[in-house]
């Protein structure tokens, strides 16, 4: 065995070791559908704000108007929780479905040590951002919810990327950047939320699908 064959063998071993410590059954389709669901949720929220008497799509005035009776019969804080709660549940269902389908297609196992490490590293920043978002809603600071959730979501992706596809790290960077920019334009939080959770997920999903899944 010559030097080149030795190098090829070492590279093959290293690749196998990296794959064994990474969750590679990430589905691009789940990203696409998650993005679509997020855009629908943002669109419904936009319609709610426009329909409200005295309400505005500019979040600068949301706190002052959040107690105004809405023609849809539900208060602003409650509607925000309902809308984004349904979005979150729908995204989780889509994520689990497409991920399990890809795992079965790859003849692999879903629950492994790598899966546990991935979920743990995602959960800590996500839970922190989620709790902080709820606290902001509680205090009527809806203007900060979009940028804060985007930033913590990006941190979660960066934190968990060591246990899955490297591409997720770059999505995390973009989410953080979008969240920081949203902090400079607080009246347009819904727009940035749609961009980060909607458009970016669709773009990411298409890239992942054509890079790893399309045969």
What percentage of the chain carries pLDDT values higher than 70?
Answer: 75
Give the range of the structural domain holding residue 32, as residue numbers without chain letter: 26-213
> How high is the pLDDT of residue 53?
55
Residue 19 maps to a domain: no
pLDDT in tens, 94-104: 888 887 777 77
The answer to whether 136 and 145 have CB atoms below 8 angstroms apart is yes
Establish if 17 belongs to a structural domain. Answer: no
Match 């727009």 to its residue by tokens. Answer: 191
Higher pLDDT, 62 or 190: 190
Q: Is residue 35 part of a domain?
A: yes
Residue 23 three-state SS: strand
Q: For the chain, what is the domain count?
A: 1
**Structural domain includes residue 9:** no
Instruction: Give pLDDT tens digits for 33-72.
Output: 999 999 999 999 888 888 765 555 555 555 555 555 667 7
Task: Provide the 3-class DSSP secondary structure of residue 33.
Answer: helix
Q: List, in order, residues 6 or more apart from 140 with CB less than 8 Å away.
A: 63, 66, 77
User: 162 to each of 4, 26, 49, 79, 180, how far by Cα in Å?
Assistant: 29, 13, 39, 36, 23
Q: Is residue 182 part of a domain?
A: yes
Residue 120 lies in a domain: yes
């Amino acid at each position: 065995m010559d030097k080149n064959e030795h190098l090829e063998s070492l590279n093959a071993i290293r690749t196998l070791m990296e794959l064994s410590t990474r969750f590679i059954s990430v589905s691009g389709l789940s990203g696409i559908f998650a993005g679509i669901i997020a855009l629908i949720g943002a669109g419904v929220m936009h319609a709610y704000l426009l329909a409200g008497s005295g309400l505005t799509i500019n979040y600068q005035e949301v706190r002052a108007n959040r107690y105004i009776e809405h023609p849809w019969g539900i208060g602003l804080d409650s509607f925000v929780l309902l809308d984004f709660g349904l979005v979150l549940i729908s995204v989780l269902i889509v994520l689990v479905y497409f991920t399990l389908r890809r795992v079965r297609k790859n003849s692999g196992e879903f629950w492994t040590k790598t899966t546990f490490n991935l979920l743990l590293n995602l959960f800590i920043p996500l839970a922190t951002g989620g709790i902080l978002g709820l606290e902001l809603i509680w205090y009527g600071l809806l203007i900060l919810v979009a940028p804060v959730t985007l930033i913590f979501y990006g941190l979660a992706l960066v934190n968990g990327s060591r246990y899955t596809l490297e591409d997720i790290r770059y999505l995390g960077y973009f989410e953080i950047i979008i969240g920081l920019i949203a902090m400079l334009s607080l009246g347009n939080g819904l727009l940035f939320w749609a961009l980060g959770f909607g458009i970016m997920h669709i773009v990411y999903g298409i890239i992942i699908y054509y890079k790893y899944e399309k045969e």
